[in-house]
Amino acid sequence: MLLSIVIPAFNEEKIIEETLTQIKFALDANRDESFSWEIIVCDNNSTDQTAVIASESGATVVFEPVNHIAKARNTGASSAQGEWLLFIDADTYPRPGTISEMLHLIRADNHIGCGSTIKVVDAPFWYKINLEGHNIDWRLFKTCMGVFVLCRAETFHAIGGFSNDLYAFEDLDFVLRLKTYGRKQGKDFAVLHHYPVITSGRKGNLYGRWEMIKSSVIALWYFITKKKIGGSGALPFWYDGRR
């Protein structure tokens, strides 16, 4: 079984090497003859050395010229060869136990995919509590953020991938459509929780609470109303490139 790991990355030269090192460590800890992988980094029009560092770290690098998270994920997936696709954010990595849980789910073959709870590191207390607080509702409602999302490649293509109309909450939209498709196949969506993935709390240090709330409210309004946003400039929390 070949697993394709897809990482969208915009100006991530400070962190991408460590992310890839930790991902490979978790994968190597679960190595066996029935499991192989490839890592694809989609350089989302970076102006720094993200692509160079990712390539030197052993990843396959593809390019998406439009600064758009959904398009970056879709472009990365279009180059994937694996039977399963695992989308991981550039500032996030799974632990060996996370990968072990994921492989058990894949081999059981009774789920359409999975996400994971998170552990936020290097963040202000308010930011850490805000993000980790969602672990409860993710487990309750079986949904998740896009920091770690797994599905079959054929399922990804069947539901049309991530929506290019959404500049934020494209991960929630994707998971909801994935779950709907899964119900038709008689398969559930799981949220792994024994070994939460590690994700950076850097945005809590770079943005104030008001900036985060304002950007989130705007993104949520566009998501609920289905109105098209003019571009990434309306959502600085996701797209202004502070690193």
Mean pLDDT of 180-190: 96
pLDDT computed for residue 192 by the predictor = 98
pLDDT computed for residue 243 by the predictor = 86
Q: In the chain, what percentage of residues exceed pLDDT 70?
A: 98
pLDDT single digits (tens) 210-222: 888 888 888 888 7
Q: What is the DSSP letter of 163?
A: -
What's phi and psi for 235, nearest 5 deg? -130, 70
| Parallel/antiparallel/unpaired status of strands 36-43 and 60-63 | parallel
pLDDT single digits (tens) 129-143: 999 999 999 999 999
Comparing 90-99, 185-194, 201-210, 217-226, the range with the smallest average pLDDT is 217-226
Mean pLDDT of 4-19: 97
CA 170, 123, 175: angle at the middle one, nearest 5?
A: 20
pLDDT at 226 over 90: no
Length of the chain: 243
pLDDT at 233 over 80: no
Mean pLDDT of 153-161: 97
Distances (CA, A) of 14 to 7, 10, 49, 53, 129: 15, 11, 9, 9, 25
pLDDT computed for residue 240 by the predictor = 84
Distances (CA, A) of 167 to 7, 89, 140, 154, 215: 17, 15, 26, 24, 11
Pairwise pLDDT comparison (231 vs 235), residue with the higher score: 235
User: Which residues lie closer than 8 Å to 108 by C-beta, 6 or more apart?
Assistant: none
| 111 CB burial (10 A radius; 0-12, 13-18, 19+) | middle
pLDDT at 230 over 70: no
Domains of the chain, each with CATH number or no CATH:
2-200 (3.90.550.10)
pLDDT computed for residue 239 by the predictor = 85
DSSP string for 201-214: -HHHHHS-HHHHHH
**Token digits for 173?**
């939209």
pLDDT at 85 over 70: yes
Q: If you average pLDDT over every residue of the chain, what do you get?
A: 94
pLDDT single digits (tens) 104-131: 999 999 999 999 999 999 999 999 999 9
DSSP string for 61-125: EEE--S--HHHHHHHHHHT---SEEEEE-TTEE--HHHHHHHHHHHHHT-EEEEEEEEEEES--H
One-letter identity of residue 132:
E
pTM: 0.95
* pLDDT interval class at 59 (50, 70, 90): very high
pLDDT computed for residue 238 by the predictor = 81
Spatial contact of 172 and 87, defined as CB atoms under 8 Å apart: no
